[in-house]
Amino acid sequence: QVQLVESGGGLVQPGESLRLSCAASGSIGSIVLMGWYRQAPGKQRELVASISSGGTTNAAESVKGRFTISRDYAKNTVYLQMNSLKPEDTAVYYCNLVRRLGILDFNTYWGQGTQVTVSS
C-alpha cells in the first residue's frame, strides 16, 4: 500500500509563487518516477512535470521556465516549485507515483489532489 499526500496549494494572485509537496509513505519499493498532474474544470488531467528515479525531468510546454520539479528520496517527497503563476494554472494538482513491479509491470498511485487557484 502506498499513500500520497499533497500539500501547499492555495489561492494566490497572478505572478506569485507556490511550492507543492507530495509525501509518499507505505510500501514504496522501486520508484520509477514521481510527477505532478493537474486537472482544470472541463479539461482532461494533464502532465505538469515528472522526475525519474535517475533525476531526469520532464515538463509540459505550458509550464517550462516557470515550474520546477525536484525530489528528496530520503524523505520520499517530491516538490513542485511554481513561479509566475497564471490564471490558467488554476486546477487541482495531483501527485503521481509509478512503482515497478517487474520488467513490464507497474503500479500507479495518486494523491487526493490539492487546489491551486490563481486569481486577481
Per-residue pLDDT tens, the chain, 120 aa: give them: 899 999 999 999 999 999 999 999 998 888 889 999 999 999 999 999 999 989 999 999 999 999 999 999 888 899 999 999 999 999 999 999 999 988 889 999 999 999 999 999
* Grid cell at residue 40: 482544470
pLDDT of amino acid 74: 84
Q: Are residues 90 and 99 in contact, defined by beta-carbon separation less than 8 angstroms?
A: no
Distance from C-alpha of 29 to C-alpha of 25, rounded to nearest angstrom? 10
Q: Collapsing DSSP states into helix, strand and coil, what is residue 34? A: strand
pLDDT tens digits, one per residue of 82-117: 999 999 999 999 999 999 988 889 999 999 999 999
